[in-house]
Amino acid sequence: MQIDKCLILCVFSVLTIFSYAKEIVIQSPDKKYNMVITDEDGYLHYSLKWNGKEKIMPSLLGIFANRNWNDGLFIDKVNFSIKDTTWVPVYGERSKVRDNYAEYELHIGKLKTKDKLILDVRAYNEGMAFRYRFPGGQYLKIEDEYTEYSMPEGTLAYFTPKAQTEYVCLPIDSLKGETERPLLMKNIDGSYTCIGEAQVVDYVRTKYVLADNKKGTLRAAMYGPVEDIAPYYTPWRYVMCANTSGEILENNDLLLNLNLPTKIKDVSWIKPGKVMREVTLTTKGGKEVIDFAVKHNMQYVLFDAGWYGFEYDKSSDATTVTLDPRRNPDPNALDLQEVIRYGKSKGIGVILYVNQRALQQQLDEILPLYKSWGVAGIKFGFVQVGSQVWTKWMHDAVRKCAEYGLMVDIHDEYRPTGVSRTYPNLMTQEGIRGNEEFPDATHNTILPFTRFIAGAADYTICYYRQDFGRLEKQDDNYGVPRSRTIKTTPAHQLALAVVYYSPFQLLYWYDKPSDSKDEPELKFWDDVYTTWDDTKVLNGEVGEYVTIARQKGDEWFVGSITNNQSRKLSYPLDFLSEGKEYKAEIYEDGDSSLPSRTKVKVYSCKVNNQDKLNFNLKPSGGVAVHFVPL
């Protein structure tokens, strides 16, 4: 291996001496990724092979920043380095993360100007990443990006226009308008490619649209302009390839590696946990949820919208407890300080919802106030996303929360790009079509391979299917009424606590403590964790089914869900420690074909890593298993 590195360094020393190299070959440490960058005819193009197969055909690179960095370009010199380290996250899907890559710094010149552009490229075994960097001290106005992704013929993509809309699998050229990132694509040979962005901190959101007059080609679509002063760099653009969609999910630590190490010196106050929402906005209701949380091994209670007034009114004061009469007409119903004190006496923290209208006006005032109240965290509501102004504001707000020891849950359209590595007080975020939208099981089996590649998501998991007695129009505007009812089985919802990763895991979203009848199946949520030592995707197909296993200490938890169809599902237990026996506590939908909260079958058996479990999953169903060493 040492000889290999020396040879590579010698080759790139030669490249540094001779300017105007026309072709640069970039390889990942395991040699599986092979990217070629050329400056032929004054244009920068790249192509990508993985395992010897073409995944991205020659595609344009470039950016408009003060001038057009698109034509008249040449590769001036190349610097090269290798990094191989391991770091320990504050929390995560794994207790250790390897950060191993070859880094290439391509200095790009432009004819008739002395300005310089640097193209940083990192080659990981998990994927390739690149960004544009401006080394000078000039004022920058970035107005467009020319990055393209020319896909092989027959490629399909899982499109969704917004962070909380449904996914649809279509040929690349059928895309209408923008599609969200990450974007998972299926190649004609059955393998997968995923593109996305990482470390979006002081920039704009970038989605994807069809390139004009280029069949099968996507291009980056910036939300709007970016203004700053160099030195400055864009977010990373990454490409991940794998034989299965599950392998891409297993490699999503790539996004964390593309972000800076934590800037929080003392992280002892950052504590993941399970959360239950309080909606009555009363002292009595708050204490009841706290008692329920204690009984069911939960760690936090969330006071949702309405505790400080009508959240959409900019005059509502988030430094006061002033109940929104739309949610509770009794202005004296909630003594928030008493609830916080009661929670502390029981070991339960309180999280407060604050709409961005109040956050934008009062952030510097409420942070020291909430710290003095003993609040554990803030849920940002109805945030603005996309523009550079709001992107920067959002991450500055997370940083300021860290200064006051407050954890954060960002809701609505915000999607993560790995920033939780730098500010691990950002526990989770929405940016997902979760149970608030009452999605079906097929949608739920798409999410692990699309949205969750980006990181944690607050899906708002439910258990008791409450029909709220209200009818709403469908999103298609056809006027078809529907009831607000969870569309999956109880075991499906139980399994989501393992399938879906979220350090703040919101459980019982539409439920109340009074709904509980001490059902034995709730023990699974009592026992489950929200962060993990290891994570494995045991099986799965996008939109069909998925099984994910997660380890905490000596215990393993496994969640399986199917789409709207019934399914026979099995998986070997070779992830368990060799030579040990385990008690497998199994939570499976009962014999009834109709979903019912009283129809969960709970049983156990003794297993080891030579065994295999087999299940018959109901339509929209699932199964959850807790493996405890004996």
Local structure of 133: helix, strand or coil: strand
CB atoms within 10 A of CB 251: 18
CA distance linking residue 37 with residue 26, whole number of Å: 8
Helix (H) or strand (E) holding 483: strand 481-483
What are the residues whose beta carbons fall under 8 Å from the beta carbon of 141, sequence distance 6 or more? 65, 66, 225, 226, 227
Burial code (b: 16+ CB inside 10 Å, e: under 16) for 34-53 equals bbebbbeeebbbbbbbbeee
Half-sphere CA count of 249, side-chain side, radius 13 A = 29
Give per-10-residue mean pLDDT for the chain (630 aa). 40 40 90 97 97 98 95 95 98 98 97 91 98 94 98 98 97 96 97 98 98 95 97 98 98 98 98 97 98 98 97 96 96 98 98 98 98 98 96 98 98 97 98 95 98 98 64 37 76 98 97 93 98 98 98 98 97 97 96 60 97 97 98
Task: Tell me how far the alpha carbon of residue 37 is from its chain's centroid.
Answer: 30
Listing DSSP states for 144-192 in one string gives EE--EEEPPTT-EEEE-SSTTS--EEEEGGG--S-B-SSEEEE-TTS-E
Local structure of 429: helix, strand or coil: strand
Distances (CA, A) of 562 to 447, 570, 611, 616: 12, 12, 22, 10
pLDDT tens across 110-135, in order?
A: 998 888 899 999 999 999 999 999 99
CA distance linking residue 241 with residue 186, whole number of Å: 10
Local structure of 363: helix, strand or coil: helix
Pairing assessment for the beta strands 139-145 and 63-65 based on DSSP bridges: antiparallel
Contact 185, 157 (CB under 8 A): yes
pTM for the full model? 0.94
pLDDT tens across 584-615, in order?
A: 999 999 876 554 445 799 999 999 999 999 99
Task: Tell me how far the alpha carbon of residue 438 is from its chain's centroid.
Answer: 20
Please state the φ and ψ torsions of residue 419, each to the nearest 5 degrees.
Answer: -70, -20
Domains of the chain: which residue ranges?
A: 2-257, 273-533
Structure tokens, 5: 């590195």
pLDDT of residue 598: 53
| Region 2-257: CATH code | 2.70.98.10
Residue with tokens 């001490």: 518
Residue type, 618: K
Task: Quickly count helices (H) and strands (E) in the chain.
Answer: 10, 38
The listed CATH number (1.10.230.10, 3.20.20.70, 3.30.70.270, 3.40.50.720) that belongs to domain 273-533: 3.20.20.70
CA distance linking residue 589 with residue 568, whole number of Å: 13
Whose CA is closest to 376, among 350, 345, 404, 344? Answer: 350
pLDDT of residue 1: 40
Contact 340, 375 (CB under 8 A): yes
CA distance linking residue 24 with residue 16, whole number of Å: 11
Residue with tokens 């399914």: 567
- Burial status of residue 190 (CB atoms within 10 A of its CB: 0-12, 13-18, 19 or more): exposed
CA distance linking residue 281 with residue 289, whole number of Å: 11
Pairing assessment for the beta strands 426-429 and 407-410 based on DSSP bridges: parallel
CA distance linking residue 91 with residue 107, whole number of Å: 37
Contact 98, 86 (CB under 8 A): yes
CA distance linking residue 195 with residue 211, whole number of Å: 15
CA distance linking residue 548 with residue 570, whole number of Å: 12
pLDDT of residue 445: 98
Contact 250, 535 (CB under 8 A): yes
Structure tokens, 455: 């990181």
CA distance linking residue 77 with residue 13, whole number of Å: 10
Structure tokens, 80: 């090269």
CA distance linking residue 29 with residue 200, whole number of Å: 26
pLDDT of residue 7: 35
**Helix, strand, coil percentages in the chain from 3-state DSSP, rounded to 5:** 20, 35, 45
